[in-house]
């Protein structure tokens, strides 16, 4: 699904964070199946929707939560992991070597691993776990404590128990910046420049083809065509 803008969009932040912290059973109570399908289809065709615009009224926070939850499941289904399983295993192995128990607080190995993620993965995970951490802090209202959030969201996010616990309960200490962002921005600039060169080359080629076709027309044929234009009777408005 083309919902990549949804988790980090300011409008969804406002809906899920501002309203979600007051919604009992968020992520446990599903939204209307019909409404969820409607918004999924809209995102599939429109790709990016500002949920706070007057022409996109969506007031049920459970519907928004269900759309997001379903999208996370699709990422897992197509093996498009937010944090690759291999990366998670490497971190867990590093912090539990020699029989040590995994720490309760986010270890440096986790921060380094997250910083090496591609920018999309990094900022998606940043926004999602910030939201979940906020819900966890308001569990007295939402009735969604850490265990409830883990049951509802950990599987569809494809995170191990340790990773989910660090990212939710120690969220503030998980981030030190995305190290790969500059590299990806440079690649994007190179791609854009290549697209512009290709477009310019195609335009030049089309111009050359038109010029070549005109040059290939015999001069006599062009004179005959001009003479025919001169001899062709003109129809006046009176004649018609």
Residues 171-230: tens digit of each pLDDT: 999 999 999 999 888 888 888 898 888 888 888 888 887 777 766 655 555 555 555 555
Contacts of residue 20, defined as CB under 8 A and 6 or more positions apart, other chains included, come to: 26, 61, 65, 131, 134, 135, 142
What are the residues whose beta carbons fall under 8 Å from the beta carbon of 99, sequence distance 6 or more? none
- Phi, psi dihedral angles at 29 (to 5 degrees): -90, 120
Angle at 187 between CA 183 and CA 191, to 5 degrees: 170
What is the pTM assigned to this prediction? Answer: 0.74
Using alpha carbons, select from 187, 24, 177, 180 the residue that is nearest to residue 117: 180
* Cα within 13 Å of Cα(1), Cβ side: 23
- What percentage of residues in the chain have a pLDDT greater than 70? 78
Quick one: which of 131, 134, 98, 93 has its CA closest to 110?
A: 93
How confident is the model over 152-175, as pLDDT tens digits?
A: 999 999 999 999 999 999 999 999
Compute how many other C-beta atoms are within 10 angstroms of the C-beta atom of residue 135.
25
Q: Are 143 and 24 in contact (CB under 8 A)?
A: yes
Under a CB-based contact definition with an 8 Å cutoff, are residues 142 and 21 in contact? yes
């Amino acid at each position: 699904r083309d919902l990549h803008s949804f988790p980090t969009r300011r409008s969804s932040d406002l809906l899920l964070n501002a309203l979600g912290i007051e919604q009992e059973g968020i992520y446990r109570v599903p939204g209307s199946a019909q409404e969820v399908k409607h918004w999924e289809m809209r995102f599939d065709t429109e790709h990016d929707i500002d949920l706070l615009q007057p022409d996109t009224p969506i007031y049920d926070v459970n519907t928004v939560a269900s759309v997001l939850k379903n999208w996370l499941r699709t990422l897992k289904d197509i093996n498009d992991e937010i944090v690759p399983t291999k990366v998670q295993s490497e971190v867990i192995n590093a912090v539990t070597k020699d029989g040590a128990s995994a720490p309760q607080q986010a270890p440096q190995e986790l921060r380094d691993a997250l910083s090496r993620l591609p920018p999309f993965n990094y900022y998606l995970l940043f926004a999602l776990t910030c939201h979940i951490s906020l819900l966890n802090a308001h569990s007295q209202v939402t009735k969604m404590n850490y265990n409830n959030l883990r049951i509802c969201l950990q599987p569809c996010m494809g995170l191990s128990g340790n990773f989910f616990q660090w990212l939710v309960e120690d969220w503030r200490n998980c981030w030190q910046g995305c190290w790969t962002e500059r590299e990806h921005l440079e690649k994007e600039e190179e791609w854009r420049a290549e697209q512009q060169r290709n477009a310019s080359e195609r335009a030049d080629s089309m111009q050359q083809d038109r010029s070549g076709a005109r040059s290939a027309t015999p001069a006599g044929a062009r004179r005959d065509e001009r003479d025919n234009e001169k001899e062709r009777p003109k129809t006046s408005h009176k004649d018609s």
